[in-house]
Amino acid sequence: MSVNVGIVGFRGYSGVDLVQILSRHPEVTPILLEHRQDSSERPQPIGFTGPERIGANVEAMVASAIKAVFLATPPEVSMELAPPLLDRGIKVIDLSGAFRLRTAENYTRWYKEPHSAVAWLEKAVYGLPEVNRKQIPAAQLLSNPGCYPTAANLAIRPLVQSGLIDRAAGIVCDAKSGVSGAGRKPSLKTSYCEVTENFSAYSILDHRHVPEVLMVSGLDEGEFSFTAQLIPCDRGILETIYFRAPGIKDASTLAQIYQSAYRDEPFVRLYAPGVVPDLRAVQRTNFCDIGFKFDPATGRGVVVAAIDNLVKGAAGQAVQNMNLMFGWAETAGLL
Amino acid sequence: MSVNVGIVGFRGYSGVDLVQILSRHPEVTPILLEHRQDSSERPQPIGFTGPERIGANVEAMVASAIKAVFLATPPEVSMELAPPLLDRGIKVIDLSGAFRLRTAENYTRWYKEPHSAVAWLEKAVYGLPEVNRKQIPAAQLLSNPGCYPTAANLAIRPLVQSGLIDRAAGIVCDAKSGVSGAGRKPSLKTSYCEVTENFSAYSILDHRHVPEVLMVSGLDEGEFSFTAQLIPCDRGILETIYFRAPGIKDASTLAQIYQSAYRDEPFVRLYAPGVVPDLRAVQRTNFCDIGFKFDPATGRGVVVAAIDNLVKGAAGQAVQNMNLMFGWAETAGLL
Amino acid sequence: MSVNVGIVGFRGYSGVDLVQILSRHPEVTPILLEHRQDSSERPQPIGFTGPERIGANVEAMVASAIKAVFLATPPEVSMELAPPLLDRGIKVIDLSGAFRLRTAENYTRWYKEPHSAVAWLEKAVYGLPEVNRKQIPAAQLLSNPGCYPTAANLAIRPLVQSGLIDRAAGIVCDAKSGVSGAGRKPSLKTSYCEVTENFSAYSILDHRHVPEVLMVSGLDEGEFSFTAQLIPCDRGILETIYFRAPGIKDASTLAQIYQSAYRDEPFVRLYAPGVVPDLRAVQRTNFCDIGFKFDPATGRGVVVAAIDNLVKGAAGQAVQNMNLMFGWAETAGLL
Amino acid sequence: MSVNVGIVGFRGYSGVDLVQILSRHPEVTPILLEHRQDSSERPQPIGFTGPERIGANVEAMVASAIKAVFLATPPEVSMELAPPLLDRGIKVIDLSGAFRLRTAENYTRWYKEPHSAVAWLEKAVYGLPEVNRKQIPAAQLLSNPGCYPTAANLAIRPLVQSGLIDRAAGIVCDAKSGVSGAGRKPSLKTSYCEVTENFSAYSILDHRHVPEVLMVSGLDEGEFSFTAQLIPCDRGILETIYFRAPGIKDASTLAQIYQSAYRDEPFVRLYAPGVVPDLRAVQRTNFCDIGFKFDPATGRGVVVAAIDNLVKGAAGQAVQNMNLMFGWAETAGLL
């Protein structure tokens, strides 16, 4: 029997991917929840019928027997919409940054605005399955990780946990993202003529995704340098991560660290030492691909991690979390 | 009275830019030197007449009163063509990597082939004017810097020379280049369908441009981590450079370091602290633009340097060097 | 019970799409047939296992119980490989132009080379299901249509058959294709730096796909003007088709012409009058989308047809044809 | 002695090109006229000083001895700003569509809004120098042609004037433009993720540039079919034009038609029969390049015309017109 799930923000890039994944998912029926019609939709052929649409109000959702709602909305909208749904027993999977950090103070520091749903902050479960799989099934409010932190944490956490890297020397994460990561709302920064044949850095050292990496990886702020950059492409994140590990004697040690971390993970793929993924390897998939190069003579290491920012970095991981929350196969709808 | 200068490799991307710059240069007349016709040229309108063309043999060049030759050729071709020209008193400006390093051993280590013109290795002058301006006028064989090292050295050398950075923690240079840096010869790696909507890393930690950075910046190999990456765009290099400098107390110290290094440089432009250049700022110019962000609380710094790989990274800098070698205005033909 | 099917040319762009579609197809097991290893493959993660691989020789195929072979090869290779397979009762689905035209003379005129498998020319079935569905099930040698003609014929044939257009005034098909249509073999014309930020026309009035359009649409050569053009994008074909129909009094007449032609077609989608598809509508799908604009006052009409050149224009249509040849659901593996 | 000229709309794409061209122009000093600060400017390096800036009010312009003003503004702004300038004897070169058509009725039909400066409509001189050179020097109000019509008219007018084409069969102009043609104001249609890897048609048969083509070429509306399309690139227009000319017996007749039309034109370049330009040939130049293919057997012809929409299609042609209006060399600042 199919479970009804709702999507708010179905016109945005993450929302469009969510609708597409959920429409093919064996366990659910997606319903579009109209919140604000502030963006146009693509023209459709004659005879096209997408999912059912209802208004994004709680009574309508209850009447439609919606069991879970995906919020593909800005943080301030998620903070407004999530509590009444949760109060009525509807599970919420929030794709925004609203509930990712643990305290209102930290949220305000990085997002530069007050938090308006503090009571739910501590109840939210951070949905990075590879780290947090046991907590996810019980989640009422699932906070889906940010796109940059998903790749960064999957690449960095095993290094930190191994105890073999020189944290004092710092870890550098040079991150690059396709333009869809900035959302569908038109802006000069994401206009075609500004982006094509260009490449630019932004939010150097102070991107709002940094605290997620610190929280999950265990690094201190002074140990972690992060720069976000815009690739002239639609989708995909590639992060080049630099570390120093004088204590590691050969690449196979590193290989073992990653293999023991991800041996049984359905959505993390590893490469032979010296081989690294590109964006093409992961676009339109829910995989996080990780490869590395290590120079034993000097202890310098470089890890390359790649995801699709809209899939493993957003819609796909949200569905992976839904699968865990409902007890379905973790990969349902995602392979 | 115009000076005749020759170009070998005028069909490649650097060569095309060279011809264009030299054709507008107030002091010279370019002559195309036909070496191997292994690449096609673009169709031209009726009535088009480009520069004169002669064969790339020494006698013809002497007969045409050519005073300097630009070699926009692979290293093995430059090693073959340069010595006979030099022997006849024709100045050579080599855009390849053939004469950039100081010893044949080092060349062989990084270029994976023997050096066939060792006698000229030590006589070559490395043409980074901002560092080496005094040596350039006397050069017979001018070795034009690599594209990645041009930006890297201009950004890193002042930091190293300041003595204020933590070298033991390492300096990271995460470099990105447009596809023209790989040359005009067709290959799968530079095919449109492989590059568009993709982003990929290559030559991690062992790019052949690394020794140039060590040579000029003064860093040791173990202190410098370098990754080259391919941007889905035509031209431009952007390098994001990470360092730690616990001894620097505020951004203005960094600003002073760069300003005192480049105050009088016609082709280095600096930005206010926190502002960094993108590729668009430098494309089709001979500028190297440098900006930075610094966090005094933790001593972490990020420098962004941008050049056009075909101009300041190749043809433009070659003309800048020619100007110095002939005693012309350094900016002639370049603004 | 799964049917074994082979693919020659699995490293090319059409081949990669074929393998991907067949790997998810409910009725078949794909086997890669190694013919010439003249192109590299992408690096794969640890543990990756693709389809089985065997040599592209007939005995091995018979031994592997292969019932059909897809040839994603150049015409001259298809002419060489197809006959021995057919002689052993293995069905062949040829994606090249080798068997699309009806006579060797016509082939030689357009392909500028002799035909080396003339005996099979007249036995081949041209696999455009929307036109030729009844002939396809009995085909031994199925000739998969060209990419441009697929869109052109689906858009033009109903107009010609209606008898309402002014053929003497001519029909113009201005066709644009993504770069993958030129194949994966590196060439200057498909190099990134030559294509990006460019747009170019080629094969004006004499493209080798023209005779397929004449054959299927019923137009005479003098009635049909065709230009192929390269879009700076990876995949997709959009054709803008101009006609004059003074006898048509309103757009609804045109709408009826298309609806009666394609009402029951699973892979042709129509749009409301005045609405036309873009490439995005069809990329990575097997659909041909058709929309039009008509000006009743002057009888001028414009039809826009879009397909993915690698799917409906190659691999997808080949699988659609396979489905018909084996009596499976026509849409199997394609939705 | 340098002449002061002003630019309103200097932040838009045409405006940026105008400022760049005028800054290098030997006869003028550009002054930026601040009208509405509704768009951001790019960050600049330390020490950057651009042209002087003053408010876009008439008194300030008179005080600054501004002799001509370029309006790189939307039509409704041009209609508002032009009259008071003209009344004070300041020449106006308007890049909008406000003054291109001859009657308010026609303007309203195509621009869907009333004309608010009708008195100046008939005094405006349409500035296509290759057609209208004699009228331009006396112009007070110069109306700069649209980008699409510039290429279309230069390609089509000689054909129509030759009297050799079959007008009843119609002329098709399939036009493609880079995204900068849509201006710098952010919109969903020009967002990177909507444009990249896409190709789309718009304003089929009813683009507001159509009446300019009819006006200059002499064609009737029913004889001319025009479709505008968006190329995923920044700048450049390529138009593929189809005609039928049963009376033309060979390509050389066509070649003569174009050569006699443009033999002495500094900014029109022709190609040998069968050779056509691509966008790369004209980007960042003021040239209109024209090539053609003709099939004498059937009388079908195809012309390809290419311009840079921001240069010959806007800023460059505006400067060409200024040169004529002030009696300077027509090519000043443009080669």
D147 is catalytic: yes
Q: State phi, psi for C144 to the nearest 5 degrees.
A: -75, 135
Please name the residue ranges forming H helices in chain C. 13-23, 58-63, 75-87, 104-111, 118-121, 129-132, 147-162, 192-195, 210-217, 251-262, 315-326
A212-238 confidence digits (pLDDT tens): 999 999 999 999 999 999 999 999 999
Contact C278 D172 (CB under 8 A): no
A267-315 confidence digits (pLDDT tens): 999 999 999 999 999 999 999 999 999 999 999 999 999 999 999 999 9
Q: Are B149 and B313 in contact (CB under 8 A)?
A: no
What subunits make at least 3 CB pairs under 8 angstroms with C? Answer: A, B, D
Asked if the model's pLDDT at residue C239 lies above 80, the reply is yes
Asked if the model's pLDDT at residue C263 lies above 80, the reply is yes
**CB contact D195 to A (< 8 Å):** yes
Identify the band that residue C53 occupies on the pLDDT scale cut at 50, 70 and 90. very high
Contact D278 C205 (CB under 8 A): no
Contacts with B155 (C-beta within 8 Å, 6 or more apart), sequence order? B239, B241, B290, B303, B305
Q: Are A306 and A277 in contact (CB under 8 A)?
A: yes
State pTM to two decimals: 0.97
Query: At what angle are helices D210-217 and D147-162 packed, to 10 degrees?
Result: 30
> Which of C180, C187, C234 faces B186 most closely, judged by CB atoms?
C187
What subunits make at least 3 CB pairs under 8 angstroms with D? Answer: A, B, C
Asked if the model's pLDDT at residue A202 lies above 80, the reply is yes
Mean of the per-residue pLDDT values for chain A?
97
> What local confidence, expressed as pLDDT, does residue B39 receive?
78
Contact B169 A169 (CB under 8 A): yes
Give the homologous superfamily in CATH for domain C3-144+314-326: NAD(P)-binding Rossmann-like Domain (3.40.50.720)
**CB contact A272 to B (< 8 Å):** no
What is the distance in angstroms between the Cα of D181 and the nearest Cα belonging to chain A? Answer: 10
Q: Are A289 and A282 in contact (CB under 8 A)?
A: yes
C9-52 confidence digits (pLDDT tens): 999 999 999 999 999 999 999 999 999 877 788 999 999 999 99
User: How far apart are the C-alpha atoms of C229 and C209, rounded to whole Å?
Assistant: 13
> Which of D200, D225, D232 faces C302 most closely, judged by CB atoms?
D225
Nearest residue of A to residue C268, measured between CA atoms: A45
Query: Which residues of chain A make contact with C42, given a CB cutoff of 8 A?
Result: 280-281
The residue ranges of every structural domain in chain D are 3-144+314-326, 148-307
Helices and strands, number each (H, E), in chain A: 11, 14
Residues 33-62 of B with CB under 8 A from D: 42-43, 45-48
Q: Are C155 and C171 in contact (CB under 8 A)?
A: no
Reported ipTM: the value is 0.97
Q: DSSP string of B190-256?
A: GBHHHHTT--EEESTTT-TTHHHHHHHH---GGGEEEEEEE-SSSS-EEEEEEEE-TT--SHHHHHH
**CB contact B174 to A (< 8 Å):** yes
Identify the band that residue A37 occupies on the pLDDT scale cut at 50, 70 and 90. confident
- The end-to-end CA distance of chain A, in Å, is 21
Q: What is the largest CA-CA distance in chain B?
A: 65
Q: DSSP string of D276-325?
A: ---GGGTTTSS-EEEEEEEETTTTEEEEEEEE-TTTTTTHHHHHHHHHHH
Q: What is the DSSP letter of C292?
A: E
Q: DSSP string of B151-188?
A: HHHHHHHHHHHHT-S-GGG-EEEEEEE-GGGG-SS--G
Residues 197-216 of B with CB under 8 A from C: 197
User: How far apart are the C-alpha atoms of B273 and B256, rounded to whole Å?
Assistant: 11
Query: Which residues of chain C make contact with B187, given a CB cutoff of 8 A?
Result: 186
- SS3 state at C328: coil
Residues 299-328 of C with CB under 8 A from D: 299-300, 302, 304
C195-204 confidence digits (pLDDT tens): 999 999 999 9
Burial of B88-116, coded b for 16+ CB within 10 Å and e otherwise, reads eebbbbbbbbbbbbeeeebbeebbeeebe
What is the distance in angstroms between the Cα of A306 and the nearest Cα belonging to chain D? Answer: 19
> What local confidence, expressed as pLDDT, does residue C125 receive?
98
Q: Which of C174, C179, C207, C295 to mutate to test the interface with D (most CBs of D within 10 A)?
A: C174
User: How far apart are the C-alpha atoms of C112 and C328, rounded to whole Å?
Assistant: 38
- Which of D119, D126, D122, D68 is closest to D97 using CA atoms? D126
- Known catalytic residues of C are 147
**CB contact B298 to A (< 8 Å):** yes
> What local confidence, expressed as pLDDT, does residue B43 receive?
94
CA distances from B96 to B81, B143, B148, B314, D140 (A): 12, 8, 13, 9, 55
What is the distance in angstroms between the Cα of D187 and the nearest Cα belonging to chain A? Answer: 5
Contact A169 B244 (CB under 8 A): yes
Residues C110-134 have a mean pLDDT of 97
Contacts with C321 (C-beta within 8 Å, 6 or more apart), sequence order? C93, C127, C129, C136, C139, C142, C144
**CB contact A269 to C (< 8 Å):** yes
User: How far apart are the C-alpha atoms of D179 and C206, rounded to whole Å?
Assistant: 30
Query: Which residues of chain B make contact with A221, given a CB cutoff of 8 A?
Result: 298
User: How far apart are the C-alpha atoms of D240 and D148, rounded to whole Å?
Assistant: 11
Q: Are D12 and D72 in contact (CB under 8 A)?
A: yes
Burial of C266-277, coded b for 16+ CB within 10 Å and e otherwise, reads bbbbbbebeebb
Contact A271 C46 (CB under 8 A): yes
**CB contact D289 to B (< 8 Å):** yes
> Which of A176, A236, A293 faces B205 most closely, judged by CB atoms?
A293
- SS3 state at C151: helix
Give the homologous superfamily in CATH for domain A148-307: Dihydrodipicolinate Reductase; domain 2 (3.30.360.10)
Q: Which residue has the tokens 């951070």?
A: A126
Identify the band that residue B255 occupies on the pLDDT scale cut at 50, 70 and 90. very high
Q: Are C299 and C305 in contact (CB under 8 A)?
A: no
> Which of A40, A188, A235 faces D40 most closely, judged by CB atoms?
A188
Q: State phi, psi for B26 to the nearest 5 degrees.
A: -70, -15
Query: Which residues of chain D make contact with B16, given a CB cutoff of 8 A?
Result: none
Query: Which residues of chain B make contact with A198, given a CB cutoff of 8 A?
Result: 233, 236, 278-280
Q: What percent of chain B has pLDDT over 90?
A: 98
Contact D277 B196 (CB under 8 A): no
C224-235 confidence digits (pLDDT tens): 999 999 999 999
User: How far apart are the C-alpha atoms of A102 and C151, rounded to whole Å?
Assistant: 55
Q: State phi, psi for C315 to the nearest 5 degrees.
A: -65, -45
CB-defined contacts A:B, below 8 A: 141
Please name the residue ranges forming H helices in A95-146. 104-111, 118-121, 129-132
Taking phi over 0 as left and psi of -120 to 50 as alpha, with beta for the rest, C245 belongs to beta
- SS3 state at A238: strand
> Which of A178, A227, A234 faces B240 most closely, judged by CB atoms?
A227
> Which of A179, A191, A234 faces D186 most closely, judged by CB atoms?
A191
Q: Which of the residues D147, D173, D233, D288 is marked catalytic?
A: D147
Q: Are D190 and D200 in contact (CB under 8 A)?
A: no
Contacts with D64 (C-beta within 8 Å, 6 or more apart), sequence order? D4, D6, D31, D52, D54
Contacts with D32 (C-beta within 8 Å, 6 or more apart), sequence order? D6, D7, D10, D19, D50, D51, D52, D53, D54
Burial class (CB in 10 A: 0-12, 13-18, 19+), D152: buried
Residues B77-106 have a mean pLDDT of 98
A132-147 confidence digits (pLDDT tens): 999 999 999 999 999 9
CB-defined contacts A:C, below 8 A: 37
Contact D234 A195 (CB under 8 A): no
Q: Which of C44, C184, C195, C231 to mutate to test the interface with A (most CBs of A within 10 A)?
A: C44
Identify the band that residue A39 occupies on the pLDDT scale cut at 50, 70 and 90. confident
- Which of B191, C43, B223 is closest to A274 using CA atoms? C43
- Which of C100, C133, C312 is closest to C211 using CA atoms? C100
> How open is the CA angle A28-A34-A37, to the nearest 5 degrees?
140
Q: Which residue has the tokens 């014309």?
A: C189
Query: Which residues of chain B make contact with D196, given a CB cutoff of 8 A?
Result: 197
> Which of D201, D222, D278 faces C276 most closely, judged by CB atoms?
D201
Mean of the per-residue pLDDT values for chain B?
97
**CB contact C298 to D (< 8 Å):** yes
Beta bridge partners of D143: D94, D126
Q: Are A322 and A308 in contact (CB under 8 A)?
A: no
Identify the band that residue B316 occupies on the pLDDT scale cut at 50, 70 and 90. very high
Query: Which residues of chain A make contact with D13, given a CB cutoff of 8 A?
Result: 193
**CB contact B179 to C (< 8 Å):** yes
Intervals of chain D under pLDDT 50: none
Query: Which residues of chain D make contact with C293, given a CB cutoff of 8 A?
Result: 204-205
> What local confidence, expressed as pLDDT, does residue B1 receive?
82
What is the distance in angstroms between the Cα of C184 and the nearest Cα belonging to chain B? Answer: 8
Question: How many residues does the structure list for chain B?
Answer: 335
**CB contact A118 to B (< 8 Å):** no
- Which of A218, A75, A230 is closest to A148 using CA atoms? A230
Q: Which residue has the tokens 């019970």?
A: C1
Contacts with C59 (C-beta within 8 Å, 6 or more apart), sequence order? none
Q: Which of A193, A194, A235 to mutate to test the interface with D (most CBs of D within 10 A)?
A: A193
Q: Which tokens belong to A269? A: 């793929």
> Which of D170, D174, D234 faces C197 most closely, judged by CB atoms?
D234
- Which of C208, C178, C223, C25 is closest to C111 using CA atoms? C208
Beta bridge partners of D302: D242, D293
